[in-house]
Amino acid sequence: IAGITQAPTSQILAAGRRMTLRCTQDMRHNAMYWYRQDLGLGLRLIHYSNTAGTTGKGEVPDGYSVSRANTDDFPLTLASAVPSQTSVYFCASSDSAGPLYNEQFFGPGTRLTVL
């Protein structure tokens, strides 16, 4: 089934630990995105990638890094997790880069708790 998968579904993590959230899409979309969803704040963009090999910073990039080695995968890494990174993380993709005339497709989300 075409779409976006994320792993893990949920995770409890000790502060200071390193964690990588995985995202894979099979729609051959150029652009991919990572958002975090926090109560009262809506979806906020962490990092994005217009195409394989390029990445860019979103609204809240600090404490996170991404890579885009190929079209399908866009992992998000927390180098040293802190409790303020407790959130639900959504990966998304879009069949365009630059002006967003095309919709974004979202993965099922990863619920991360940092203790």
Partner 1 sequence: ILNVEQSPQSLHVQEGDSTNFTCSFPSSNFYALHWYRWETAKSPEALFVMTLNGDEKKKGRISATLNTKEGYSYLYIKGSQPEDSATYLCAFNTGTASKLTFGTGTRLQVTL
Which residues lie near partner 1 (CB under 8 A)?
A: 31, 33, 35, 40-45, 48, 50, 56, 58-59, 90, 94, 96-109
- For partner 1, the closer CB: 64 or 90: 90
Number of neighbours of residue 4 by Cβ within 10 angstroms: 22
Structure tokens belonging to residue 34: 């990572």
User: Hey, CA dihedral for 3, 65, 78, 58, is it positive or negative?
Assistant: negative
Calculate ∠ Cα 99-100-105, nearest 5°.
Answer: 155
- For partner 1, the closer CB: 9 or 14: 9
**Nearest distance from residue 53's CB to partner 1, in Å?**
14
- For partner 1, the closer CB: 48 or 81: 48
